[in-house]
Amino acid sequence: MISSLPQLMSMLPLLMQSMGMIFNLFFIWFFGTMAMRGYRGQKPFFLNIAGALLSGSLCLVGSASFAGFMPFMEGFLMSMLQLDMLVAGITVSIIIAIALRLLTHDNSEWRPDEMVGMLQRKVVALEDMLKKKAHHISESDAKKIAEEAVKGFKVATAKLIGSEYEVDMKEEKKEAKVVIDAWDGEVKNVIRHESRFVLFFRSPHRIAGLVILVALTALSFAFFEGLPDPAEDMASVLGMSPEELTDLTSSVADNPLMSQEIPEGCVSPIVITQYNSQLQDSKFVLDHAFGDEAIERTIRDNCEGDVQMMLRIDHSGQDLVLAFTTTNQFAYLTDGTFCMCMDLSNMMR
């Protein structure tokens, strides 16, 4: 795992970008399917997919726009998991679901409470038929019911077809048809022969849904400043710019401590980095400084320059020797085995 760390560090920007794309695709589908729950019409497979992608994309834009209005969702973990976008997106998708529900509101659709009342009236009418030999309502009564159902329209014709009256209505150039149950006078349907545009704006529910959808879309794009970049968020949390984070990952990947292979029997060079602070302590250096001609000869055979200082450290029961040469080279040995020599010139600039 340690040997693959340099490759992982060099791939960090690409991994962060890929993670951002995966998050965005997840958000689009998650938000879209949630928003489409408000659609009350028929949803064939292709419409369900297209509607989820379209509404999900709008939710993604809205979540990126409104995530900044949630100060309680701050912090490194919140930023990395994009929980602020998740909460904002769920809120936007609920609003879109409400708008779609209002837009696809159907006044002629039966509701459970209305159906119960209608069935009760039907039962009463059937009882009258059995007990009193009930008759159909009169044509004049059907006309009055139709004029009450469609205000402003006048009756043109009224026909009894089976157990229903079909009453044609007119108002100047407008036409409509009212279907009435001939037994109990129940208005079963009102059909207006008008353009879809006019019919749409006759419904206050649809107007409200359209206003909500347009307002939400306008606000989303007004506050939209681009989709979040996980790499940029991570750099911001670390107090760096994206360019500085890229430079940091490149320098770590190119660091001699990371890039060289570890000989068998040697501790990882990464272990040595934990002694950085101790190497700045003069007392620690003096306590661990030592000399050994055989080890110095080994180091001179593998590194350039003379040995300037050697330190011996007991690392978890292993004999760890650190050496620095006059040519800014660093070498270390583990239990007497020479491990590697690294040029620190670039790191000391």
Q: Domain extents for the chain?
A: 5-106+205-237, 112-195, 256-348
Model pLDDT, residue 139: 87
Model pLDDT, residue 152: 81
pLDDT band for position 136 (50/70/90)?
A: confident
Residue 297 CB partners (closer than 8 Å, separation 6+): none
pTM: 0.47
Residue 149 has pLDDT above 50, yes or no: yes
DSSP state of 3: T
Of 12-16, 17-21, 211-215, 246-250, minimum mean pLDDT range: 246-250
For residue 199, the one-letter residue type is L
By percentage, how much of the chain surpasses pLDDT 70?
72
Each residue's pLDDT tens digit, 273-324: 778 778 888 889 898 999 999 999 999 988 988 899 999 999 888 999 999 9
By percentage, how much of the chain surpasses pLDDT 90?
10
**Average pLDDT score over residue span 67-77:** 62
pLDDT band for position 93 (50/70/90)?
A: very high
Residue 229 CB partners (closer than 8 Å, separation 6+): 16, 17, 20, 242
d(C-alpha 254, C-alpha 231), whole Å = 20
Model pLDDT, residue 244: 57
Cβ distance 15 to 233 under 8 Å? no
d(C-alpha 189, C-alpha 171), whole Å = 18
CATH of domain 112-195: 3.10.450.40
- Please, what is the average pLDDT of the chain? 77
Model pLDDT, residue 348: 46
**Average pLDDT score over residue span 23-42:** 86
Instruction: Give 158-182 as a DSSP string.
Output: EEEETTEEEEEEEETTEEEEEEEET
264 or 230, greater pLDDT: 264
Each residue's pLDDT tens digit, 163-203: 888 998 888 778 888 998 887 788 888 877 665 666 666 67
Model pLDDT, residue 311: 93
Q: At what angle do helices 45-66 and 83-103 cross, to 10 degrees?
A: 130
Residue 344 has pLDDT above 60, yes or no: yes
Judged on CB neighbours under 10 Å (0-12, 13-18, 19+), 342 is buried
Task: Measure Cα distances from 212 to 19, 64, 115, 206, 281 in Å.
Answer: 32, 19, 30, 10, 66
Of 11-15, 43-47, 91-95, 247-251, minimum mean pLDDT range: 247-251
Most confident of 61-70, 231-240, 281-290: 281-290
